[in-house]
Amino acid sequence: MMRADEPVSPSTRKKRRWPIIVMVIVLVLGTVLYSLANRYLIPHVEVAVVDRSLSTAAASSSSEDTAQLAVEANAVSDDWSYSSEDIDIQIEQVVTGSGSDQITYYVADVVLQNAADLKSALANNSFGTNITDKTSNIAADAGAILAINGDYYGFRDDGVIIRNGTLYRDEPVRDAAALMSDGTMQTYDETAVSSSELLESGVLHTLSFGPILIQNGEIVGDFGSVSIDKNFGNRSIQDANPRTAIGMISANHYVFVVVDGRSDESRGMTLDELAAVMQNLGATEAYNLDGGGSSTMYFRGRVVNNPQGENKERGVSDILYVGEGE
């Protein structure tokens, strides 16, 4: 037995330190892992949306209710088109190139009589971070005719987020797009235009992702140094990737474009290529939305494109969609 006044050997000191060192490492790692999970994985509901200003059948997710809306609107439709008194949608699949350079993308030409028929819906009908669901599920729940994934606002905690005329987040940082009550689309710098100005001007929805592709009919500069997020694990969007974009040809005349990628059937598009497509379609304003595994187009109960090159949808926080009436 060691006497109280006997000196402690160096080896004994090291043995005593190890449990303390291990405990400190475990605590640090645990704190870091929890912080990452809290930031990127754990859902945080900030607002539970009660009134989404949806159509009369939006409370039900069944395809029969969506079909009933079409009947009530005297709509004529097939797998690639929909036409009623208020909404006209024409979808086209486009394939260019061949082999490793092949690109497959989908263009939905949308003409509305009422700007309010272009709506937004949130996953689980809740606003917050890390709240996700498949585009098709959100669309079906909303009674959508046509839908695309939105800006995945829930992956980040900044940006100006206005949906269906309600301001949910006011942290301006990047170039954005605004969909207005007069049927027009405006691209703008969030730091230069206040949310109060937008709301006073009749904004219905804002989208915070980017970059702006077309502004005033012209392709917006060089996309080589685009930076959307600085989040942990965020990948570059410069190269060819699956894409989702929205463009306006004229008031209440929109084009939705979804590009497949990362598969043998489609390599995806660069931002330059996407901007060129939008310009060729006649868009006077166009904006890039969340892409990659999120890129999804839904139409009348089915997913039109091939998400992730595996017909496998990735959960997203929000969608843009077209639906009959309110």
Distances (CA, A) of 172 to 192, 195, 290: 9, 9, 18
What's the pLDDT score for residue 35? 57
Residues, the chain: 326
What's the pLDDT score for residue 62? 47
Beta-bridge partners for 248: 254, 285
For residue 232, pLDDT over 50 is answered with no
Look up residue 8 and give its DSSP letter. Answer: P
Question: Quick one: pLDDT band at residue 37, thresholds 50, 70, 90?
Answer: low
For residue 230, pLDDT over 70 is answered with no
On whether the CB atoms of residues 193 and 170 are closer than 8 A, the answer is no
- Residue 35 burial (CB count, 10 A): 11
Average pLDDT over residues 30-41: 57
For residue 58, pLDDT over 60 is answered with no
Distances (CA, A) of 3 to 7, 9, 204: 9, 13, 80
Average pLDDT over residues 27-49: 62
What's the pLDDT score for residue 67? 62
For residue 63, pLDDT over 70 is answered with no
For residue 70, pLDDT over 70 is answered with no
Lowest average pLDDT, out of 60-64, 120-124, 208-212, 317-321, goes to: 60-64
Average pLDDT over residues 197-213: 97
What's the pLDDT score for residue 21? 74
Q: Is 45 exposed, middle or buried (0-12, 13-18, 19+ CB in 10 A)?
A: middle
What's the pLDDT score for residue 52? 44
What's the pLDDT score for residue 61? 42
Average pLDDT over residues 229-237: 55
Question: Quick one: pLDDT band at residue 200, thresholds 50, 70, 90?
Answer: very high
On whether the CB atoms of residues 122 and 50 are closer than 8 A, the answer is no
Mean model confidence pLDDT for the chain:
86
Question: Quick one: pLDDT band at residue 142, thresholds 50, 70, 90?
Answer: very high
Q: Give the global pTM.
A: 0.84
In the numeric block, which tokens belong to residue 199? 């709301």
For residue 32, pLDDT over 90 is answered with no
